[in-house]
Amino acid sequence: MSGIHARPLADLRERRTSIKWHRFPADVLPMSVAEMDFEIAPAVAQTAIDHLLRSDTGYLDSPGPLAEAFAEFASGAWGWQVDESRVHLATDVTVGVLETLRLAVPGVGGRVVLTPPVYAPFYEMVGEARAEAIEVPLREDAGWSLDLPAIERAFASGVDAFLLCNPHNPTGRSHSRESLAELARLAAQYDVLVVSDEVHAPLAHPGSPFTPFAVACTGAGARSVTVTSASKGWNLAALKCAVAVANDADSAAMLTRFPEELAARTSIIGLHANIAAYEAQTWLHQTIDRITDNYRLLVGELSIHLPEVRVVEPDAGYLVWLDFRAIGLGDDPAATLLADARVALNSGPTFGQGGHGFARMNIACDPATITEAVRRIAALVNARSPQAARTSVPA
């Protein structure tokens, strides 16, 4: 059992001020917003404190030592040899993706391929870049994999960019090296820029290796940019620091046109916290162990109390995609569960095509929260279908 633990819910509500803890009334279990209930790595916290005590709170103009720290982590974790000269700062991953799209897409009339069900803000980013989102849904029947023939048809119709989510959010699936290599081949053939959001990659589960798109596309001639951060792996979202990495010469030239203010709007405390995070690998491994323990607990509780709910097993991260279609909670189970079971999950339909009947659950929490969530949901389902042959839910 991992040494990483979460505080009790009442304690977290008292100590934390983020929307996760104050968006809903106190009787709601908050399992939607993608932040961990765990304490952050002590070395990362101390680094932030040290820089604050030095009054080191000024502006940035480059990644500086973060480029080297990220390159060392990427090499050790994934065998990705990052060219440090091609690493740029961004305020966070969403900003890095958006600013890349603004450079790559010609605004009105531009077209960007998305693979729903996918991280809902992707649609907002494409809209802010004044482009059109072209949906090519994942293949649910093939383990939520990329539909490469359909992607090729979209590319052939004329698109500017492909927005890749790897590991995928909300399914948690890491795309295979083979499918990524074929995506790279297609992107090169049709001259489509691939922008890869890889923020959940440090949280790859044991036995589920992660392949960066930059590694899979080696030698294909594709243009691509990877955007990532320590924010998800080490729970540092509020510290506002990410990197955008150009994976080829053309993309490297493009990223030199990032607005100067992009670096200045990045947190200097966040930069140093990211550096410390990439060195805090023991904490990371313990956190992954805690998450995978929680996943096994979730599966066990569902098998007893809600066997009709299908779980998509994640390869990485702490977000779990749940299929409620068999228990009659409608197109948006999260809305029903919030209102009637007092459990807050993410709404499946907000992730685009393929999201109806699904919801996303955050399991980076105390095990007791998972147990309570499943039993609240089961109690609701039992109350709606009293004739169903179910295992009774303990009071």
Asked if residue 211 and residue 335 are part of one domain, the reply reads no
Q: How confident is the model at residue 2 (pLDDT cuts 50, 70, 90)?
A: low
Asked if residue 378 and residue 325 are part of one domain, the reply reads yes
Rounded Cα distance, 242 and 74, in Å: 14
Rounded Cα distance, 5 and 7, in Å: 7
Rounded Cα distance, 53 and 394, in Å: 50
Among 224, 247, 279, give the residue marking a domain's end: 279
Higher pLDDT, 149 or 393: 149
Structural contact between residues 168 and 199, judged by C-beta atoms closer than 8 angstroms:
no
Q: Which residues pair with 373 in a beta bridge?
A: none
pLDDT at 390: 41
Among 229, 258, 279, give the residue marking a domain's end: 279
Asked if residue 215 and residue 128 are part of one domain, the reply reads yes
Among 279, 309, 340, give the residue marking a domain's end: 279
pLDDT digits (tens, 9 = 90+) for 286-335: 999 999 999 999 999 999 999 999 999 999 999 999 999 999 999 999 99
Segment holding 246, helix H or strand E: strand 242-246
Asked if residue 260 and residue 152 are part of one domain, the reply reads yes
Question: Closest Cα to residue 250, out of 197, 196, 198, 192?
Answer: 192
pLDDT at 387: 46
Asked if residue 160 and residue 208 are part of one domain, the reply reads yes
For tokens 């907002």, the residue is 124
CATH code: domain of residue 299: 3.90.1150.10
pLDDT at 394: 38
Asked if residue 175 and residue 62 are part of one domain, the reply reads yes
For tokens 């659950």, the residue is 361
- Chain centroid to Cα 30, Å, comes to 18
Reduced to 3 states (helix: H, G, I; strand: E, B; else coil), residue 267 is coil
Reduced to 3 states (helix: H, G, I; strand: E, B; else coil), residue 312 is strand
Q: Does pLDDT of 6 surpass 90?
A: no
Segment holding 273, helix H or strand E: helix 268-279
Number of structural domains, the chain? 2
Q: Does pLDDT of 143 surpass 70?
A: yes
Question: Closest Cα to residue 358, out of 305, 321, 313, 319?
Answer: 321
Rounded Cα distance, 151 and 242, in Å: 28
Asked if residue 187 and residue 268 are part of one domain, the reply reads yes
Range of the domain at 218: 43-279
- Chain centroid to Cα 93, Å, comes to 10
CATH code: domain of residue 185: 3.40.640.10
Asked if residue 290 and residue 264 are part of one domain, the reply reads no
Asked if residue 207 and residue 121 are part of one domain, the reply reads yes
The DSSP code for 254 is: H
Rounded Cα distance, 88 and 98, in Å: 14
Tokens of 286: 């313990």
pLDDT digits (tens, 9 = 90+) for 240-276: 999 999 999 999 999 999 999 999 999 999 999 999 9
Asked if residue 116 and residue 80 are part of one domain, the reply reads yes
The answer as to whether 65 is a domain residue is yes
pLDDT digits (tens, 9 = 90+) for 24-69: 999 999 999 999 999 999 999 999 999 999 999 999 999 999 999 9
Q: Does pLDDT of 182 surpass 50?
A: yes
The answer as to whether 91 is a domain residue is yes
Asked if residue 269 and residue 369 are part of one domain, the reply reads no
